[in-house]
């Protein structure tokens, strides 16, 4: 397997430069990460770009993540001194809470400005995150209108724009930007399993083995329920797993042989459709 994965289309390099130039114009950064893998779906390039700006982490897609793991991850963010909240963008009810969380982080700064006699300006927040974490949907929910393009694949947000939420709060929309390359292959796999890069960029055999092995270790009941599959990770388990899923789901070639490609496709589709239930790909105790 390759030790690093490069994934950096030209438009992302341009978007990163634009973000860097706009950070100085905002008061706070709202970074969206996927609740199923919040550390992997965090772009460390943002740390350099935003420097000491206040930041609020939004863990999206909590409806797809293991709720106990999400609670532990939120606690870890707070332990590290960060402000964080998990949301389900399909049933979003945290608009006011998020705006108030931003205002709270900026309270001291605003009070100092008022003491100097400065007229208060609308709070401007930059919304950032890697592709497909729900930035556009989040903005539309906060603004209570269709203010940003929405899509189900990377690269839908084409240009940066300012969206006024109310007279005191504005959002600065940005395209999804990934780090130039993944030196940690497990991080790349987590990002792919969350749908923020195409799975085909990675060796699908390795991605399948990684995901199945992870589920066997942390969520064995989900494999049992979906495929009637129990795995002994101390055994030579990979080919038997292919054969078992092939038999159980009747995925065969014409001569009755295991169709490895279709087994992978079936499994990855089950993940995309949440047919295995709520899964978190990063756990605090690891």
Does residue 254 surpass a pLDDT of 70? yes
pLDDT at 174: 83
Q: How far is 124 from 66, CA to CA, in rounded Å?
A: 32
CA atoms within 13 A on the CB side of 281: 26
- The more confident residue out of 152 and 229 is 229
pLDDT at 219: 98
Strand partners, 56: 30, 83
Q: Could you tell me how far CA 166 lies from the centroid of its own chain?
A: 27
Q: Which of 45-54, 132-141, 232-241 has the highest mean pLDDT?
A: 232-241
> In whole angstroms, what is the distance from residue 17 CA to residue 223 CA?
44
Which tens digit of pLDDT belongs to each residue from 120-174? 889 999 999 998 999 989 999 998 766 554 444 444 444 556 888 888 999 988 8
Which pTM value belongs to this model?
0.88
- Identify the structural domains of the chain with CATH numbers, from first to last: 5-181 (3.40.50.300), 203-272 (1.10.1580.10)
Q: What's the rounded Cα separation, in Å, for the pair 249 and 265?
A: 12
Neighbours of 139 (CB within 10 A): 25
Cα separation of 130 and 30, whole Å? 12
Q: What is the pLDDT of residues 162-213, one digit of tens each?
A: 888 888 999 988 888 887 778 889 999 999 999 998 898 899 999 999 999 9
Rounded to the nearest integer, the mean pLDDT of the chain is 88
């Amino acid at each position: 397997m390759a030790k690093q994965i490069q994934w950096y289309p030209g438009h992302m390099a341009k978007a990163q430069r634009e973000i860097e130039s706009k950070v100085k114009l905002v008061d706070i950064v709202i970074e969206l990460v996927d609740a199923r893998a919040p550390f992997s779906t965090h772009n460390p390039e943002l740390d350099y770009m935003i420097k000491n700006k206040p930041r609020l982490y939004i863990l999206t897609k909590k409806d797809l993540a293991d709720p106990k793991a999400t609670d532990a991850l939120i606690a870890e963010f707070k332990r590290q001194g960060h402000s964080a909240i998990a949301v389900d963008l399909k049933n979003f009810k945290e608009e006011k809470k998020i705006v108030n969380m931003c205002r709270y982080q900026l309270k001291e700064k605003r009070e100092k400005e008022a003491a100097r006699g400065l007229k208060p300006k609308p709070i401007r927040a930059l919304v950032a995150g890697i592709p497909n974490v729900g930035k556009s949907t989040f903005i539309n929910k906060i603004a209570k209108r269709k203010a940003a393009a929405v899509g189900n694949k990377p690269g839908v947000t084409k240009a940066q724009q300012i969206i006024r939420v109310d007279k005191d709060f504005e959002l600065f929309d940005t395209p999804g930007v990934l780090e130039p390359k993944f030196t940690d292959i497990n991080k790349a796999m987590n990002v792919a399993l969350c749908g923020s890069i195409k799975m085909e960029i990675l060796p699908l055999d390795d991605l399948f083995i990684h995901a199945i092995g992870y589920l066997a270790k942390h969520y064995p009941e989900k494999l049992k329920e979906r495929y009637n599959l129990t795995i002994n990770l101390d055994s030579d388990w990979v080919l038997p797993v292919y054969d078992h899923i092939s038999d159980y789901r009747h995925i065969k070639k014409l001569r009755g042989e295991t169709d490895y490609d279709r087994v992978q496709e079936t499994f990855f589709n089950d993940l995309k459709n949440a047919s295995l239930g709520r899964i978190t790909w990063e756990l605090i105790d690891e």
